[in-house]
């Protein structure tokens, strides 16, 4: 392949307004992660996103419009039927899902029985939709007495397993997750099994994000990542990208414990991974720490941290680099509940053209642009 590179940075859950079909996903027309959190928190301070044209996409409190944007900007609609991490990232990489992953209020008894039998864990706690931080706090004492794993889900297609790793070793948790993944692949239609390790810190159950691990279902078809590798290119995955694609089409990966690590790793890759065709980063804190917990102040600070890195990214990019910043779904921190929201996403592209690209009908626009950029 040629020396051109593409860099995708996904700010997890940073939606920018309800999809036309949001009601079908349990969300009303008011959901708008970016605009609502900006208003609730007193306005965003993002001078670099402002220069790129973010304020031209929608009216976002604190973000001015510009007559001379240094990047392209616009909106992408979701074509896949879902509002979860896997669906969003796969669509960004060119794979549209016609049928959504399955969700459950309670996992079927026969599945739980098989899980208990295969893992020899003795029993389980939970088996209901819940906020991870809340259910761990509520069931921690029972978990300590029984040593049973805490199983929970959400409005997303996830099977989550939480344990105190001072009680159950982390290796055991990972093994239980692998067993759950194998069981779920037998017709249950669940997108991800997530290991949720925690510890008691200062008297409180506290999740250890750096040890989280996702066990995703494999993409049913090749994606942009596979196409790059088949054409003798290399893909560098940062954050949970490797988990989302189950390693398919990934040449090298760098797991991270949060956004700051992810931003540092992305800058390092821009500076040093000159022989890679694609650098693909997921920044999870916006979703995991702030969206689900409905913490709009924390979400604001996380976006502002990303903004602070943009000049460093740009200063270290080559002339043949294309930087694309986008999101995978919404998680409006001002909306009811604690789940994702069905939203369109912003897209900003630096390195080729400038100005408004309008509204695109699918996240696959990113994949199409990168294929064009890399001459695939």
DSSP 178-225: HHHHHHHTTTT---EEEEEEEEEETTEEEE-GGG-EEEEPPPSS--HH
For residue 1, the model assigns a pLDDT of 58
* Sequence ranges of the domains in the chain: 5-99+219-373, 109-216
Task: Give the tens place of pLDDT for each residue, 46-89.
Answer: 999 999 999 999 999 999 999 999 999 999 999 999 999 999 99
Q: Characterise 147 by phi-psi region: left (phi > 0), alpha (psi -120 to 50), beta (else).
A: left
What's the pTM?
0.91
For residue 299, the model assigns a pLDDT of 98
**109-216 is a CATH 3.30.70.1250 domain:** yes
For helices 296-316 and 33-40, what crossing angle results, to 10°?
Answer: 110
**What is the mean predicted confidence (pLDDT) over 201-220?**
91
**What is the mean predicted confidence (pLDDT) over 362-366?**
98
Whether residue 294 is predicted with pLDDT greater than 90 in this model: the reply is yes
Task: Give the tens place of pLDDT for each residue, 144-180.
Answer: 999 999 999 987 899 999 999 999 999 999 999 999 9
Q: Characterise 355 by phi-psi region: left (phi > 0), alpha (psi -120 to 50), beta (else).
A: left
Percentage above 70 pLDDT, the chain: 99
Whether residue 2 is predicted with pLDDT greater than 70 in this model: the reply is no
Whether residue 143 is predicted with pLDDT greater than 90 in this model: the reply is yes
**Superfamily for 5-99+219-373?**
Alkaline Phosphatase, subunit A (3.40.720.10)
């Amino acid at each position: 392949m040629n020396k051109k590179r593409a860099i995708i940075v996904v700010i997890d859950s940073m939606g920018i307004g309800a999809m036309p079909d949001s009601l079908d996903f349990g969300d009303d027309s008011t959901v708008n992660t970016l605009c609502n959190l900006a208003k609730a928190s007193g306005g965003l301070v993002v001078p670099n996103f402002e220069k790129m044209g973010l304020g031209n996409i929608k009216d976002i409190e604190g973000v001015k419009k510009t007559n001379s944007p240094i990047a392209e900007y616009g909106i992408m609609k979701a074509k896949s039927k879902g509002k979860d991490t896997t669906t969003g990232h796969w669509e960004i990489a060119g794979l549209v899902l016609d049928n959504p992953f399955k969700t459950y209020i309670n996992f079927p008894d026969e599945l739980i029985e098989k899980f208990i039998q295969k893992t020899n864990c003795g029993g389980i706690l939970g088996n209901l939709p819940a906020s991870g931080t809340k259910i761990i706090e509520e069931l921690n004492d029972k978990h300590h007495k029984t040593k049973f794993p805490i199983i929970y889900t959400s409005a997303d297609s996830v099977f989550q397993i939480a344990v105190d790793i001072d009680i159950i070793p982390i290796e055991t948790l990972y093994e239980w997750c692998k067993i759950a993944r194998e069981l779920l692949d037998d017709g249950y239609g669940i997108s991800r099994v997530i290991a949720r390790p925690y510890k008691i810190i200062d008297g409180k159950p506290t999740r250890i994000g750096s040890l989280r691990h996702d066990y995703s279902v494999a993409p049913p078809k090749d994606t942009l990542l596979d196409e790059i590798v088949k054409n003798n290119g290399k893909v560098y995955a940062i954050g949970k990208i490797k988990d989302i694609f189950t390693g398919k089409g990934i040449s090298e990966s760098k797991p991270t414990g949060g956004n700051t690590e992810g931003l540092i790793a992305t800058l390092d890759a821009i500076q040093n991974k000159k022989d890679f065709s694609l650098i693909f980063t997921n920044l999870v804190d916006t979703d995991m720490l702030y969206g689900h917990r409905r913490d709009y102040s924390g979400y604001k600070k996380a976006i502002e941290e990303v903004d602070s890195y943009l000049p460093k990214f740009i200063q270290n990019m080559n002339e043949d680099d294309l930087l694309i910043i986008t999101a995978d779904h919404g998680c409006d921190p001002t909306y009811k509940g604690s789940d994702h929201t069905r939203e369109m996403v912003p897209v900003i592209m630096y390195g080729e053209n400038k100005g408004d690209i309008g509204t695109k009908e699918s996240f696959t626009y990113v994949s199409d642009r990168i294929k064009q950029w890399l001459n695939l």
